[in-house]
Structure 1
């Protein structure tokens, strides 16, 4: 096993924070029509505020209710300096070599800031609307995603540069082309090399992949740089990490290789000066949800084939009689109408910082956060809580450093 340098080890233990771009609209409440439209001006404003607040990247979602992630990512990239766009690719809906070309262009134009979020699902309804032949085939979508990422990686690492003209290749000789390894899979066939710009990042932009099913975890171990989980109580997250570590060890025994991978978590945050103020603000977010919207959402959530959404459903049902409280400062109330990572971490800056650091102690080193509305909450969290988290984490690391 390769030994890491002190610098590499330190970098691996650093915490990374991303924010969320509300490309379906924004506002103070969930379950109702958004108060703010997702205009270019507003999304750029949220992105710039997140950058100033200390966030390193923004997650740009995908789905029928959202503006296209690649278009938005390109736009906000051109209006920020260091903020990294985490854009969604949908395996099976865009050819992987074309997606790699798009990713390479974004990486070039942003100066090496592109990151790729591989989304295998979203809602079945959305997949049907997009014409995905695997809309109702959960495990097959992950098998396809595995080949998809493999082809994207080969496209990037075996890129031959931009073609000289529209009608001529890049000039790579037949001998050089023949030396490349061909890939033949169930869903994709790849012949190298590929004419496209080389990525700034070496060897290529990082992959994020989420999912709680066994096959999702195995594919993540094989290909992803960050495995992304939706927010859950600390013991649930610990169990998921232990499952993945078991899979990592199995793959290491099978292949002799052990890939480095970070754990990430998607969650909501709400910080106020007092805990009482924070809880009042949390209930206010869902105060305008009509009862029929809750019933409609519950029916839609029940139809999901996504294991992580089923876990969110279970968590909501288990906590309903406890006012949706699932642990100190952890609240699932948003999940009555919000799909995805809906757990809300509620409290003072110190309380929210401690809860997040407890996840970091379990192994979660990347956090993708959001709050309502996203503009004001990005500024608030960056001002009150982010510096506190970094300070506390650095102190913890110093205490655990071996004495020389």
Structure 2
């Protein structure tokens, strides 16, 4: 199968610095935030679509705008781009979630993807009225996805489980194509849920050897699983320019910023977050944890904390390396998101196309000079 690339919609604001907020990080912990507008998100979404990204991830949490509502607005601003909507099972009825997914899928022309986030922070879950512990949340997620998948297949569902109960639930309209389900989780309880219910298992950007171990674990549970990886990216015409940009991102980050953010993240219940923290240990030294893999983002941001940094060819090399392990989908982001989408789309994607590893999802429209403009400027056809 070909590699797919997705971009990211910063629904808590954007910045030329590493943005604070999210995943247990206090808002404003680092960098100045560009206020969020639907117009700016539309710019990012349209640019991602034109450059050749298949979809765009929208996060979920108390720290950002609602993913369902935001992406529904953006379907009118785009034509092909899919929306990977992150949501937390258990905060709404599984029948209502299936109905929302069905409506979105049908009215958008099949452009919904579902990113299931079980929730790794009990204190945040309690803000939404969820008082289950972590293992119970995973058990509930399994029940939730079982109900949702059956409803989206057109079944009438009666379910009486430990956490959820529905009786004669049915959708009046079933989408022609069920939205693919993306699921991440590094704790032992996550694997069986992913294997039973997910189409794509997601991991954060760890060194290739660590990623290989995680993929091998999931393959023992579901041999035909599709895999995705979540990374930031800093790519430029030369490696020197890319690393200079990485250095610039940390220039305005103080020792107090790092200490504040790390104190919050060290309280996290997430195994995946702990693995991210272990890459840098809260220290500015030794942030290059693998060739072209930089852990600096994780000093002041929760969740995905690593970035691919280098020239376009070097970043393409690393993507090819992850693909050789079995990664099929790359979910990327960068600061600011509009600018970094441009660098990746005009630098790395053409390099991957030259290697025969990627093709524009719009087909010929994505390879003809001038047919897919970015910000009014024709994209040159690679020689």
- TM-score normalized with structure 2 length: 0.87
Change beyond 3 A, Cα 1:374–1:101: same
What count of residue pairs does the alignment treat as equivalent? 348
Q: Is the contact made by 1:69 and 1:87 (CA closer than 8 Å) also made in structure 2?
A: yes
Q: 5 Å matches for 1:1-20?
A: 13-20=1-8
The alignment status of 1:23 with 2:11, answered yes or no, reads yes
Change beyond 3 A, Cα 1:351–1:365: same
- Alpha-carbon distance, 1:247 to partner: 2.5
- Alpha-carbon distance, 1:21 to partner: 0.2
- Alpha-carbon distance, 1:296 to partner: 1.1
2:175 to 196, 199, 218: 199
2:266 to 302, 316, 327: 302
Counterpart of 1:186 in structure 2 is: 162
Change beyond 3 A, Cα 1:35–1:298: closer
Give distance in 1, aligned partners of 2:142 and 2:274. Answer: 23
Give distance in 2, aligned partners of 1:57 and 1:34. Answer: 27
The alignment status of 1:219 with 2:207, answered yes or no, reads no
The alignment status of 1:380 with 2:343, answered yes or no, reads yes
Give distance in 1, aligned partners of 2:32 and 2:46. Answer: 21
- TM-score normalized with structure 1 length: 0.83
The alignment status of 1:58 with 2:22, answered yes or no, reads no
- Alpha-carbon distance, 1:82 to partner: 0.5
What root-mean-square deviation, in Å, do the aligned CA atoms of Structure 1 and Structure 2 show? 1.7
- Alpha-carbon distance, 1:346 to partner: 0.4
Counterpart of 2:234 in structure 1 is: 270
Secondary structure of the residue aligned to 2:213 is: helix
Rg larger for = 1
Moved more, 79-88 or 289-298: 289-298
Q: 5 Å matches for 1:92-131?
A: 92-131=90-129
Q: Name structure 2 gaps, 5 residues minimum.
A: 21-29, 359-383
Q: Is the contact made by 1:273 and 1:349 (CA closer than 8 Å) also made in structure 2?
A: yes
Give distance in 2, aligned partners of 1:237 and 1:192. Answer: 42
- Alpha-carbon distance, 1:185 to partner: 1.5
Q: Is the contact made by 1:86 and 1:116 (CA closer than 8 Å) also made in structure 2?
A: yes
Change beyond 3 A, Cα 1:69–1:318: closer
String of CA shifts for 1:258-280, please: whole Å, max 9, x gaps: xx421000001111111111111
